[in-house]
Amino acid sequence: MPVNLAAPDPASLLPVAGVRLGIASAGIKRPGRRDITLIELAPGSRVAGVFTQNRFCAAPVTVCKQHLVHGDIRALLINTGNANAGTGEEGIARARRSCEAVAALFGVKAEQVLPFSTGVILEPLPVDKILPALPAAQADLASAHWSEAAHAIMTTDIVAKGASRQAQVGGRTVTVTGIAKGSGMIHPDMATMLGYVATDAAIAPALMQQMVKAVADVSFNCVTVDGDTSTNDSFILIATGQAGNAEIVDAGGADYAMLKTALAEVAIELAQAMARDGEGATKFMTIAVEGGRDRAECKQIAYAIARSPLVKTAFFASDPNLGRILAAIGYAGVELDVNALKVWLGDVLVAENGGRAASYTEAQGAAVMKEAEITVRVALNRGDARATVWTCDFSYDYVKINAEYRT
C-alpha cells in the first residue's frame, strides 16, 4: 500500500481559469476503463515542457517537441494503456492522426495539440479506439475535473496524484493545480512519467522554459523508484494568464520567485507522491546529502544510495544492514575522503571516521528501520552544497507487479 498517501479530496484541487478537462473511455486495455483525457486551454495560454532523455523516446514525445516549437497550444490529449513507444514511423503517424482528430473537434490546427501516451511499449497505438471516444471527452469538459483526470491517467498507480496551491503574485491571487501519474519505471533524466501543472498567472513566453526546468530540477528530478527512465517521461507547465497579474518578465524579480515557489510546492508534492506510491512500496525514504563541493556530486551520491537494490531491500526488511549505504556512497563515482564524512539514519549517527560510529548500537538502527518514513543523511564535510532525493523500498510486490504487468 502507498506510504502515508491518500488520494486528494476532489474539492482540494482548485480550478484554474482557462483550463477545462474531459474524460472518456476508449477501452484501450480494458473495456469501460476511463483512459482518455482531453485538456482544453484558453486562447493565449503559454505552454512549456521537459521530456525524457531516453534515446528510445516515444512517438508522442517526438510530436510534442515538434508542436511546442509552433507555440499557441490549445489542447492536450492523454491516453493510458498504450505507450506508443518503439513503434517507429507508424507510431509518429498515429500520434499525429490523434492530434488531427482533436484539432478538428476544437477548430484549431493539429500543431496546436500535444499528445501523450503511457502504458505498454512496442504495441501500435489503437487510434481506431481512441478517435471514437474523443467526442465524449469533449462533451465532458469542465474546469473542476482535475480529480477525474488524475484518476484517468493512472497505470500501475494505486492512488491518484494531485495538488493545488494559491499565492499572491503582483497583488493578485494566482492558482496552481497539478496532476501526475507514476509509481514504477521512474528515474529522471528530466522529470517524471506524466505530469501537468497549470496556473492562471501571466508569465512571459521567454521565461516559460526556464521556469519548467527550474521546477523540474527541484521536484521530479529528485525522485527515483527503480532506476529506470521511461520512454514517455513528460512534464508540462501551462500558464493561462487569466489571473489578472501584470505579466512576469523578470526572472530575478519577486513575482517570478513567488510563482516559482508555488509551482515547486505542487510539483514536489506530486514527485514525493510517486515515491510513496512506488510499486509495492512499504517505506518512503529521504536521502539528504550535504557538505558537498557542488550540488551535482551531492545528487550523484544520493542517487547511488536511492537506487541501490541492496539498500532498498534492506529497508523493506527493516534490516539495519548499513554497510550497504556506505558501499553505495563509495561506488557513486565521487572522489571522497571517507574518513571525513558522517552518516545518520534518522537522528542516529551510524558512521564516522571511515567506519561505524562508536556510539551506534544495532538496536538504535533497528528501531529507525521499522518506521514507515526514514531519512538517510550524509555529511561530506567538504563544502556548502546539498541535494535531496526521494525514493521507496523494494518489496516482493514490486517483482510481482512488473512480472504480471501485461497480464
Residues annotated as catalytic are 192
Question: Helix, strand or coil for residue 317?
Answer: coil
Closest by alpha carbon to 182, among 264, 108, 119? 119
Cell of 109: 490546427
Cell of 313: 531491500
Measured CA to CA, the distance from residue 302 to residue 288 in angstroms comes to 7
Closest by alpha carbon to 390, among 234, 227, 271? 271
Residue showing cell 501551462? 238
Measured CA to CA, the distance from residue 150 to residue 178 in angstroms comes to 9
Rg of the chain over all Cα atoms, to the nearest angstrom:
22
Residue showing cell 541535494? 387
CB 101 within 8 A of CB 129: no
Measured CA to CA, the distance from residue 154 to residue 57 in angstroms comes to 20
